Amino acid sequence: MNKNIEELRKKINDIDTELIKLLAERRKVSKEVVIAKKESGKPIRDQQREMELLNKIISIGKEYNLDSHFLTKIFYEIIDDSVRLQQKYLQNYKPENDAGILRIAIQGIEGSYSYLASTQFFAHNEEELIFLYKDTFDEVVEAVEKGEADFAVLPIENTTSGGINEVYDLLLHTTLSIVGEEKFQVKHCLIGTQDATISKLTKIFTHYQGASQCSKFLASLPNCEISFYSDTAMSAKKIVEENNPQYGAIASEEAANLFNVKILKRNIANQSENFTRFLVCARKPKEVDLRIPAKTSLVMATSHTPGSLAKAISVFHKYNVNMTKLESRPILGNPWEEMFYLDFEGNTADPEIRQLLDELGKYTRFLKILGTYPSKDIVKTKIDSFADASREPEIEKEEKPVEKELPKKQKVKKSYKLASRDYKPEDTIIKIGDIEIGGDNFIVIAGPCSVESHDQIFACANEAKEHGAHILRGGCFKPRTSPYSFQGLGFEGLNELEAAGKTFGLPVITEVLSPDQVEAVARQADILQIGARNMQNFSLLKAVGRCHRPVMLKRGMMSSLDELLNAAEYILSQGNRQVILCERGIRTFETATRNTLDLSAIPILKELTHLPIIVDPSHAIGQRDKVVPLAKAAKVVGAHGIMVEFHPEPEKALSDPDQALRFDQFEEMMRDLRKL
Ligand code: PEP
Ligand code: MN
């Protein structure tokens, strides 16, 4: 009898070995198929064929008395594996270096969920995986930005506890692109030392996410103190280090095995189907083969106009594109404003999707594409349980084509797009509090050339407010021709400018000189100014393009309007759609004035671009008693506003003393402008 069982077992083992061999053989053929498909340009999946295959399998199964549920379950897995394998062939993740290693930065340690998700994601890679374990998500992103690691793997959302806000906020600012996603089933366990039992526990170490996903179970242990830890594997490690039977932790089964601790209870999460979605980020975006089902993630802020979010979202409907996620987050530093994070099924390499994004851009004041990546949701082919395997499968009904907005014909091909009227026919209106810049509005920006002291900037703010100016200016970082001239008060000056603006209810504008200043200045100023000398400082333009404050871009003193609009394009193409142009005079052969104010630029720019245009007569003419007529001319010629310099004691001004208006001149100018 025993011998018989042994024989039978051997037989089963032989069959299993045979099954494994056949599965391996099937994989090999599947790989040959993808190579053939690559040559023919055919899509990876042929769901019609998959459906026929499944129906056939079910009908063969019936002949052998195998039930269809059992067979479909197995073959879904086989097809899934085959699709993943074929996708991997078209979309591999090679590091930039050729050292045969992949450096992956994660928050946490070996055995953490980020670690487990990474090993799952890179499972088909031949390279050796080297992990860089970091304490915070910030450090993970920084490691890749600096080139210490090739990929950052970051958790973004959990099906029970929701989005991970810190990671969303990081995505907004990072220069990294999303190149992949992974979905990992989280199976939380309660673990302890070898002598521990649930009733003995007095303290449980856990990551806050773990605690929130297992809140119901934890509530059933009212006598246990919860001690928060930076990740789940770390909690497991703590158990080993403390070796106290009264201590428990929430961690994965894998972490429990890795640290050789006892599992006291499995599946303690509120929801048994508990998944975490991870994003894989790299320094450069990765193009996804059009034959692979792809997803794209973006972050946007919609314009301050009624219905703009609805209009933005309707673009997806118009193009028949499926949105898979919409999440909103407050914009740090801009109370009551929201950024929308959106995922949709589509590939930025697809011209239709590019057209969709162009159209979407018209309803946004910030739009950043975070990346296109292969979708982890492998759609299961539906099978019709009543289908007759011999019947020809039905051809899917053709979708009615949706009407698409065709790009308008351009007379001359321009090197800029987002800045042009062809792209966006209606005026861009930039809102800062109650103030609107652009459209039919005319605004006045006034203030000193430089912030010099508390008293000086407060006197200026008072004067500006009293006489109806809308925005307070003041240079804190000054681009001076001579290195020996006053360079500005820096952040000390910015504190005063911000305080003066707040006291008098005026938004403030100040110049930024370098990319590494942008983030800090954007925290305190309402508008960032790019000075004439920096109009083609491309790294600075890109940096302000990534922030969400409006930017006023001054025309370079030797720049054509085409160059000005291309400089604006640098900012717009980084995501920031709130750009104001400023004509401040250009250098000509004329030496009687500081510069030559090019007023003809205004009607030309208004034709070429939808962006608001401000005139700065102060830097143009350079003489205080001739500023006012130019300011009036600017209004007449159609500018959306002016920027002027004034000073309580112009003769004593530390920069540009000759052009600063006296307060009485400013008051007269405001009176005159109102009459026009
Ligand atoms: C300014 O407006 O403070 C300034 C320095 O002007 P510009 O860059 O036009 O010279
Ligand atoms: Mn100045």
> Does the residue 496 lie in any domain?
yes
> Does the residue 303 lie in any domain?
yes
pLDDT of residue 395: 38
pLDDT of residue 401: 44
| Ligand lying nearest the CA atom of residue 614 | 1
> Does the residue 463 lie in any domain?
yes
* Same structural domain, 450 and 584: yes
Of 225-229, 337-341, 463-467, the range with the highest mean pLDDT is 463-467
| Ligand lying nearest the CA atom of residue 529 | 1
**Interval 205-257: pLDDT, tens:** 998 888 999 999 999 998 899 998 877 888 888 899 999 999 999 999 888 98
Closest residue by CA, ligand 1 atom 5: 531
pLDDT of residue 127: 86
* Same structural domain, 457 and 326: no
* Same structural domain, 535 and 646: yes
pLDDT of residue 99: 75
CATH for 225: 3.40.190.10
* Same structural domain, 564 and 663: yes
> Does the residue 61 lie in any domain?
no
With a cut of 90, say whether residue 341 has pLDDT above it: yes
CATH for 317: 3.30.70.260
Q: What whole-number distance in Å separates Cα of residue 407 and Cα of residue 621?
A: 41
* Same structural domain, 514 and 451: yes
278 noted as active-site residue: yes
DSSP result, 236-263: HHHHHHH--TTEEEEEEHHHHHHTT-EE
Confidence of residue 511 (pLDDT cuts 50, 70, 90): very high
pLDDT of residue 34: 81
- Among residues 374, 389, 413, which one ends one of the domains? 374
- Among residues 331, 353, 374, which one ends one of the domains? 374
Binding site membership of 449 for ligand 1 (Cβ less than 6 Å): yes
Look at 263-272, 299-308, 417-426 and tell me which has the smallest mean pLDDT. Answer: 299-308
> Does the residue 333 lie in any domain?
yes
Q: Which of 482, 511, 656 to mutate to test the pocket of ligand 1 (most atoms within 8 A of CB)?
A: 511
Report the pLDDT averaged over residues 585-598: 97
> Nearest-5° angle of CA 254, CA 260, CA 263?
65
Task: Tell me which residue of 553, 601, 585 sits closest to 656, measured CA to CA.
Answer: 585
Could you give the number of structural domains in the chain?
A: 3
| Distance from residue 447's CA to the centre of ligand 1 (Å) | 12
151 noted as active-site residue: no
> Does the residue 239 lie in any domain?
yes
* Same structural domain, 437 and 495: yes
Domain hosting residue 246, numbered range: 189-268
Beta strands, E only, 89-174: 101-107, 128-134, 151-158, 162-163
Q: What whole-number distance in Å separates Cα of residue 326 and Cα of residue 343?
A: 7
pLDDT of residue 232: 81
Q: What whole-number distance in Å separates Cα of residue 367 and Cα of residue 301?
A: 7
Indicate if the alpha-carbon torsion angle 41, 44, 45, 48 is positive or negative: positive
> Does the residue 319 lie in any domain?
yes
* Same structural domain, 548 and 647: yes
Binding site membership of 488 for ligand 1 (Cβ less than 6 Å): no
- The pTM assigned to this predicted structure is 0.75
With a cut of 50, say whether residue 117 has pLDDT above it: yes
Confidence of residue 388 (pLDDT cuts 50, 70, 90): very low
Report the pLDDT averaged over residues 275-292: 92
Given the DSSP bridges, would you call strands 435-437 and 641-645 parallel, antiparallel or unpaired? unpaired
Q: What whole-number distance in Å separates Cα of residue 442 and Cα of residue 438?
A: 8
* Same structural domain, 567 and 625: yes
Identify residue 355 by its one-letter amino acid code.
Answer: Q
Identify the active-site residue in 232, 276, 510, 609: 276
Look at 1-15, 168-182, 458-472 and tell me which has the smallest mean pLDDT. Answer: 1-15
Beta carbons within 10 angstroms of residue 200's beta carbon? 15
Confidence of residue 402 (pLDDT cuts 50, 70, 90): very low
* Same structural domain, 600 and 497: yes
With a cut of 70, say whether residue 399 has pLDDT above it: no
> Does the residue 47 lie in any domain?
no
Report the pLDDT averaged over residues 638-664: 98
* Same structural domain, 453 and 518: yes
pLDDT of residue 378: 66
* Same structural domain, 315 and 249: no
| Percent of the residues in the chain that have a pLDDT greater than 90, as a whole number | 68
